Amino acid sequence: MSGRVIPAWSLTAEAASTIGIPAEWPDRVTRDWAIGGATGEGVDVCILDSGVDGDHPLVGGLESAVAVHIDGDETTIVPDELGDVCGHGTACAGIVRALAPQCRLHSIRVLGEGNTGSGELILGGLRHAIEREFDIVNLSLSTTKRSFAELLHELADSAYFQGTVLVASAHNMPVESYPWRFSSVISVGSHEGSDSYEWYANPDPPVEFFARGVDVDVAWAGGSTLRCTGNSFAAPHIVGLSALVLSKHRDLTPFQLKSVLYLTAANTGGTE
Amino acid sequence: MTDVNRYQEAVAAGMLPSEENHRALLQSIVDVARAIFGAEASSIFLLDRDTDELVFEAVSGQGEGDLVGMRIPSSTGIAGWVLVTGQPIVIDDLQQDPRFARQAAEQTGYVPKALMAVPLVNGETTLGVLQVLDRARDRAGSIGEIDLLILFANQAAIGLDLLQTARRARSVADTGDGREAVVARIAALLEQTGDEVSGLRLLEALEAVLGRLAR
Residue B117 in domain: yes
Residue B195 in domain: no
Q: Does B119 touch chain A (CB under 8 A)?
A: yes
Whose CA is closest to B146, among A234, A74, A89?
A: A234
Chain A residues in contact with B126 by the CB 8 A cut-off are: 144
Cβ-proximal residues to A121 (8 Å cutoff; 6+ apart), any chain? A68, A70, A75, A110, A111, A113, B84
Closest CB from A116, A145, A230 relative to B90: A230
Size of interface A-B (CB pairs under 8 A): 138
Residue numbers of the domain that contains B45: 19-167
**Three-state DSSP class for residue B59:** strand
Provide, rounded to the nearest whole percent, the portion of chain B with pLDDT above 90.
34
Determine the residue among A126, A142, A147, A226 to mutate to test chain B binding: the one whose Cβ has the most chain B Cβ atoms within 10 Å: A226
Put simply, the answer to whether A88 touches B89 (Cβ < 8 Å) is: yes
- Please report the pLDDT score of residue B1 as a whole number: 58
- Confidence grade of residue B13 (pLDDT, cut at 50, 70, 90): low
Whose CA is closest to A122, among B76, B49, B85?
A: B85
Residue B118 in domain: yes
Render the burial of B164-202: b for 16+ CB within 10 Å, e for the rest.
bebeebbebbeebeeebbebbebbeebeeeeeeeebeee
| Mean pLDDT confidence for B62-66 | 88
Q: How far apart are CA B127 and CA B146, in angstroms?
A: 19
Domain count, chain B: 1
- Backbone angles phi and psi of B116, in degrees to 5: -115, 135
- The answer to whether A211 and A138 are in contact (CB under 8 A) is no
Residue B116 in domain: yes
Provide the CA A23 distance to its chain's centre, in angstroms. Answer: 24
Chain B residues in contact with A84 by the CB 8 A cut-off are: none
pLDDT of residue B17 exceeding 70: no
- Chain A nearest-CA residue for B115: A228
- The answer to whether A138 and A92 are in contact (CB under 8 A) is yes
pLDDT of residue B173 exceeding 80: no
Chain B residues in contact with A52 by the CB 8 A cut-off are: none
Q: Which residues of chain A have pLDDT under 70?
A: 1-7, 115-117
Chain B residues in contact with A230 by the CB 8 A cut-off are: 87-90, 146
Residue B81 in domain: yes
Residue B181 in domain: no
**Three-state DSSP class for residue A166:** strand
CATH of domain A34-263: 3.40.50.200
- Please report the pLDDT score of residue B205 as a whole number: 75
- Confidence grade of residue B76 (pLDDT, cut at 50, 70, 90): confident
Chain A residues in contact with B74 by the CB 8 A cut-off are: 114-115
Q: Does B7 touch chain A (CB under 8 A)?
A: no
Residue B184 in domain: no
Put simply, the answer to whether B86 touches A86 (Cβ < 8 Å) is: no
- The answer to whether A222 and B98 are in contact (CB under 8 A) is yes
Strands (E) in chain A, as ranges, are 44-49, 64-71, 74-79, 104-109, 136-139, 165-169, 186-191, 200-201, 209-212, 216-219, 225-229
- Chain A nearest-CA residue for B89: A230
CATH number at residue B77: 3.30.450.40
DSSP string, A188-211: EEEES---TT--EE-SS-SS-EEE
Dihedral (CA of A47, A49, A54, A60) sign: negative
- The answer to whether A98 and A241 are in contact (CB under 8 A) is no
- Please report the pLDDT score of residue A1 as a whole number: 44
Instruction: Tell me what the pLDDT averaged over chain A comes to.
Output: 92
- pTM, whole model, 2 decimals? 0.87
pLDDT digits over A191-209, tens only?
999 999 999 999 999 999 9
- Confidence grade of residue B168 (pLDDT, cut at 50, 70, 90): confident
Q: Where are the domains of chain A?
A: 34-263
